[in-house]
Homo-oligomer: A and B are copies of this chain.
């Protein structure tokens, strides 16, 4: 078990997670009878849908694919989730809310400390819950789905993203603003957004690093990821007030 994981237990806070780890173990399923009750079937559908949405995107996923993968009827999916969009909503919020809750708990813990939390610790509190989530099997799929969600058309993604994350992200922005009083609100929100872009990309298995630097970087190692990203992002947060960009060669604004 890695050092990073030790320091980052994922709280099982989502009310809909009825099993200890949020997902029924495949090995425990006893065939088509499914004696473990409806909540397991529900999670089973959500797991199957998570994988389909992550692989094929929203438009490419059909309830039939999900039904086949989950080994249930489409009628059962409709019963639980209404529509494809209803299903997607539950898939997204199941883990998205868990990440947001865990971020808030970590920030609260920092605030109970003796001094106002420094930037690096706030960054760490923001990043760790998603990284810890990624260390679980379904969580890894979710990170891919989430990276994808950010490129889905607005009507599919925006409301959900807002519902899961906006409240906590705004509270983090306020904490960063407090730690960086010389920055404008605009700068703080830009830097938050760039941090989100960097972590979504680094955490979502794009395999870009292994391609570019085979044998040099190991994005499978959570200690390496958090070390590299928290160093980069913290420095970005701590950058001086940005000066208007200039073309190289021109030392002053034209």
Contact = CB atoms under 8 A, between A and B. Distances in A.
A135 to B, nearest CB: 14
B231 A242 contact: yes
B245 A227 contact: yes
A49 interface: no
A204 B236 CA distance: 20
A151 interface: yes
Interface residues of A, number: 84
Interface stretch (A13-21, A38-46, A207-215): A207-215
Given A158-B207, A161-B208, A213 B201 contact: no
Contacts of A7: 247
Interface string A191-209: 1111111111110101111
A170 to B, nearest CB: 7
Given A59-B56, A212-B166, A232-B190, A244 B217 contact: no
Nearest to A117: B248
Contacts of A194: 198, 201-202, 228-229, 232-233
B238 A151 contact: no
A199 to B, nearest CB: 7
Contact of A209 (B162, B190, B224): B190
Interface stretch (A66-74, A78-86, A142-150): A142-150
Contacts of A166: 211-212
Contact of A245 (B124, B144, B173): B124
A11 to B, nearest CB: 15
B233 A212 contact: no
A178 interface: no
B189 A213 contact: yes
A137 interface: no
Interface in A218-254: 223-224, 226-240, 242-245, 247-249, 254
A245 B223 contact: yes
A124 B242 contact: no
Nearest to A144: B151
7 contacts: A57-B59, A113-B248, A124-B248, A197-B198, A227-B245, A234-B239, A236-B236
Given A124-B247, A194-B233, 7 more contacts: A56-B57, A60-B60, A148-B148, A189-B209, A190-B232, A194-B198, A231-B240
